[in-house]
Amino acid sequence: MERRGDAGAMPGEFSLIEQLFEPLAGPEGLSLQDDAAILSPRAGYDLVLTKDAIAEGRHYLLGDPAETIAKKLLRVNLSDLTAKGATPRGYLLSCAWSQETSFDWMRAFAEGLKEDQAAFDIALWGGDTIRLDGPSVFTLTALGEVPIGQMIQRGGAAPGDDLWVTGTLGDAALGLLIATGEFAGGTQADRDHLIGRYHIPEPPVTFGPHLRQVATAALDVSDGLLGDLEHLCRASKVGAEIVLEAVPLSRPMRACVGSVEAAFDYALTGGDDYQILFSASASVRRDIERYAAEAGAVVCRIGSVTNCVNEIEVVGPDGNPRPFARHGFRHF
């Protein structure tokens, strides 16, 4: 659905909220009739909060469907909650619409949120909506909960721990190149699959509560595996060794790229995966596999934590270290 040129009369601000967002509101949002939401934390639980923003031309393309943009916005926040071992509860939304955004486009955006609210059992609690001169920007604050003291932090990894990752990596990075016409390999079906991974991330949300039982440290893979592993190592004051051939690649990725070496470049440095990287003691390997099966998640053990502080080594098939010119996406 194109943003510009759509039909649909534009209602006023309060009518827009009433039509599009009030149906998405949970009880904490007071039907969006007030200036604030109200939350009563459950006894025995800590609140976990995270916030992300996505901007037109930076995190999504102008012609991307409104529904997928909304879902991406919500899911990039849900991946953060998942990495903390938190169960999602609600979210606050801020929409800064460009002047060219039509009401039909806004309606489709709200429909995407509605579908994902049902999928992830989460509700809208409040927010803001404005017009601006320039590209659209959306921000979302997600709130989740964990039993008191059980949030998984980045700083708990120890030498000797295993390193694990969920899902497959690199699909979204290649999907973006396909969507922009910078890559044309593979079949149409495989290209569509990879574009879909770029449009709509698939964080393993149901696996989050299980992570609390096994993970010593965790974070989501948003800026590239190596770049985000750097964050974990820095917070934990450790190093890491990655076995290149253990890094999970999807079949469409392998089929489109052809070269396994090129596929690993996307997987390790591409970003936009929104899967979970975590460390855990070697003693809980079977527990991790069992929990993943229960949650319908896919996990791969890709390396180990070392005592070489802030040093990351990627070991190739020949047993030698493989250098990478860059480690991931940089926002600045």
CATH number at residue 176: 3.90.650.10
Domain boundary among 128, 147, 166: 147
Identify the sign of the CA torsion 155, 215, 88, 296. positive
Give the Cα separation of 328 and 163 in Å (integer).
18
Give the Cα separation of 98 and 1 in Å (integer).
16
Instruction: Please give the C-alpha separations between residue 190 and each of 74, 128, 216, 262, in angstroms, as whole numbers.
Output: 25, 38, 36, 16
- Same domain flag for 164 and 310: yes
pLDDT digits 0-9 by tens, 88-110: 999 999 999 999 999 999 999 99
**CATH classification of the domain holding 132:** 3.30.1330.10
Q: Is 126 helix (H, G, I), strand (E, B) or coil?
A: strand
Band (332; pLDDT cuts 50, 70, 90): very low
- Same domain flag for 172 and 304: yes
pLDDT digits 0-9 by tens, 164-181: 999 999 999 999 999 999
- Same domain flag for 195 and 114: no
Is 73:138 a contact under the CB 8 Å cutoff?
yes
Domain boundary among 147, 164, 195: 147
Segment holding 50, helix H or strand E:
strand 45-55
Is 270:224 a contact under the CB 8 Å cutoff?
yes
- Same domain flag for 136 and 160: no
Host domain of residue 311: 154-315
pLDDT over 70 (residue 4):
no
Give domain status of residue 113, yes or no.
yes
Q: Which of 1-15, 182-196, 257-271, 276-290 is least confident?
A: 1-15
Average pLDDT over residues 301-308: 98
Beta-bridged to residue 128, according to DSSP, are 94
Band (326; pLDDT cuts 50, 70, 90): low
- Same domain flag for 71 and 138: yes
Share of the chain above pLDDT 70, in %: 95
Is 253:174 a contact under the CB 8 Å cutoff?
yes
Instruction: Please give the C-alpha separations between residue 137 and each of 40, 125, 130, 212, 255, in angstroms, as whole numbers.
Output: 30, 19, 10, 33, 35
Instruction: Please give the C-alpha separations between residue 98 and each of 57, 103, 182, in angstroms, as whole numbers.
Output: 12, 12, 27
Domain boundary among 147, 175, 200: 147
Give me the pLDDT at residue 331, please: 43
Average pLDDT over residues 195-206: 96
Average pLDDT over residues 230-254: 97
Band (1; pLDDT cuts 50, 70, 90): very low
pLDDT over 70 (residue 327):
no
Give domain status of residue 100, yes or no.
yes
Q: How many domains does the chain have?
A: 2
Q: Which residues contact 35 (CB under 8 A, 6 or more apart)?
A: none
Average pLDDT over residues 132-152: 96
Which has more pLDDT, 330 or 92?
Answer: 92
- Same domain flag for 83 and 196: no
Q: Which residues contact 89 (CB under 8 A, 6 or more apart)?
A: 39, 122, 143, 144, 145
Give domain status of residue 324, yes or no.
no
Is 270:172 a contact under the CB 8 Å cutoff?
yes
